[in-house]
Amino acid sequence: MRRPIIAGNWKANLTLREAAALAQQLTRSCETAAADVVICPPFTALAAVAPLLTGSRIGLGAQDVFWEPAGAFTGEVTPPMLVDLGCRYVIVGHSERRTHFGESDEAVGRKLRAALAHGLAPIVCIGETLAQREAGETMDVLTRQLEGALSGCPPDTCRRLILAYEPVWAIGTGKHATPEQAQEAHQAIRRWVAQHCGPEEGQAVRIQYGGSVTAANAAGLLQQPDVDGALVGGASLKADAFVAIVQAAASVAASTKPKAVV
């Protein structure tokens, strides 16, 4: 059964004190056995947040990672450093990194392979821009990004990673994809994984939706058969809003039939 997974991407927000306060609020109110919950603070706050999560069910993730294990790469943060801090997850290929920092599909693939090699679970982001959607290129873009990320990975990789479908036009805009648009993309992504990595991998891979997820729209999105969770930006910075999204995932999981048995 695919367990729902809700991840909060705090992006370049929060001082050390603010990050610790938010993490503490979440450990008090975000516990559920029905979904995996992950928070991804900025690098600067990982060491402070990690001990606050000890004994809680909330997993720690980073927002990016470099592909080499160590060396002369000024400014980079490597997989062993993240593991050392207690990270279990890492976001890879977020559209903001692709757009503002020129991250290529090839670089995303290298980061993904490095994360897996060090036992981190990558959350791999893919998604089309508005112009690409309007030009009917959505599936071509997703396919190119999937190929870039997953080429060279052994076929059984997919059950160890999480894919996040994040249409760029929905990120931070308040315009989320409709449940139908999300389901259509998620189904196509799952089909691609099944074709390229095998039917069992297709059934096993968890696919999050990301882009303006809020407490108000989370349930409708999460009810879709191929939507296995959410990657939440803005709404993850407020404990109440994030907790409400986690609760929506837990109640959807309790009220719908299990999403595929592996």
Task: Show contacts of 69-76: CB within 8 Å, 24+ apart.
Answer: 69/114, 69/118
Taking CB atoms, the residue at the shortest distance from ligand PGA is: 233
User: Nearer Cβ to ligand PGA, position 116 or 213?
Assistant: 213
Nearer to ligand PGA, 212 or 224 (CB): 212
Q: C-alpha angle with apex 59: 192 to 89, nearest 5 degrees? A: 45
Closest approach of ligand PGA to the CB of residue 186, in Å: 16
Residue numbers of the site for ligand PGA (CB under 6 A)? 9, 166, 171-172, 210-213, 231-235
- Within 10 A of 182 (CB to CB), how many other CB atoms are there? 27
Residue 213 CB, shortest distance to ligand PGA, in Å, is 5
Q: Are 53 and 31 in contact (CB under 8 A)?
A: no
Active-site residues, by number, are 94, 166
Instruction: Give dist(CA 258, CA 95) in Å, integer.
Output: 30
DSSP letter string over 97-144?
Answer: HHHHS---HHHHHHHHHHHHHTT-EEEEEE---HHHHHTT-HHHHHHH
Give 192 or 242: the residue with its C-beta nearer to ligand PGA.
Answer: 242
Q: Residue 231 Cβ, how far from ligand PGA at the closest point, in Å? A: 4
Q: Shortest distance, CB of residue 56 to ligand PGA, whole angstroms?
A: 22
Closest to ligand PGA by CB, 177 vs 250, is 177
